Amino acid sequence: MAKGSIMIQIAVEQILSPAVNYAPEIWAVAFESLDGDRTTVRELATEKNQQFYGWSDDTEHEFGQLHFSHFALTDLWLAFPDLRRPPTILHAPSHVPSPPIDGARLALLRVRDYGFSFDAPAKFVLGRRVGSHAYLDENVPS
Amino acid sequence: MEIAIAGEGELVIRFIDSKGRTLMQEKLVVSGSPTVEARRIVALSVETSSGTALLAPVLVRQSNPKQRVTFDHENPSRFTRKRCDEIGCATDVATEAERGCVPPPVSGEASVVLSDDPGLAKLIQEAARKETNRAE
């Protein structure tokens, strides 16, 4: 029996103390089982906001040019019980329905954002939040 | 370490060093159906200006008591206690951590500040009380 409309959302908010000079990668997944009928992904999107401040204890060293993306990486994997069949991987953002995909048994939403580090005497504080959502429909093929 | 989540909700995890200082905090929010699951893999160490710091994860808040959470397939408080002992936390730090009681992230010359939603629980309680009174 098809599952109908499905929502999957995941968000990670990370705050680091200034004692830390390594920001771990954001890597998280949320997943939902499917019944193996016909799946259409209606929307796939991601959001990110971030605060970063860097400085050096040593006046002779300065931070180089920094650029942080305002986007995180999100994709949705549709996996099949036959492991010889490769998963279908869809990338965010997408706001139009995907082509119908038959037979998927698992919908897996993955969100990622880069990890990074700075050597002393550089210091930084970081707060970031990344979130992703997917809306899909699973129906019995007519 | 693998954080496994079954069911919807928001949880807050603080990562403490052997002195009980919170060096990192993560909030994980999962939404969907009651059967939604999630995984987050995170290293239990970070680099600091004074070298590598080993960390113990502490589950400090969970919005949905029905949501099931494990750290490396173990009950979170049991895992926290074990990890605190491994990294050399003092007994009082480990005991408090096991109960989910650790301070917010350490601030210093600069810090990121979030409200941690102090008013939200109160707002929900007040709304629920009004609804109960109306029903009676």
The domains of chain B are located at 2-135
Minimal CA separation from A111 to chain B, in Å: 10
Q: How confident is the model at residue A52, as a pLDDT?
A: 85
ipTM value for the complex: 0.90
Q: For the CA atoms of chain B, what is the radius of gyration?
A: 17
Q: How confident is the model at residue B118, as a pLDDT?
A: 67
For residues A125 and B68, give the distance between their C-alpha atoms in angstroms, rounded to a whole number. 31
Q: CA torsion B67→A74→A13→B46, rounded to 10°?
A: 100
pLDDT bucket at B49, cuts 50 / 70 / 90: confident
Average pLDDT over residues A6-33: 94
Whether residue A41 contacts residue B69, with contact meaning beta carbons closer than 8 Å, is answered with no
Instruction: Count how many domains chain A has.
Output: 1
What is the tens place of the pLDDT at every residue in A30-83?
Answer: 999 999 999 999 999 999 998 888 888 777 777 777 777 788 999 999 999 999
| Residue among A28, A131, A133 whose CB faces B38 most closely | A28
Domain of residue A63 covers: 4-139
Please state the pTM of the whole predicted model.
0.90
Residue A97 is given by DSSP the state: P
Residues of chain A numbered 92-111 and touching chain B (CB < 8 Å)? none
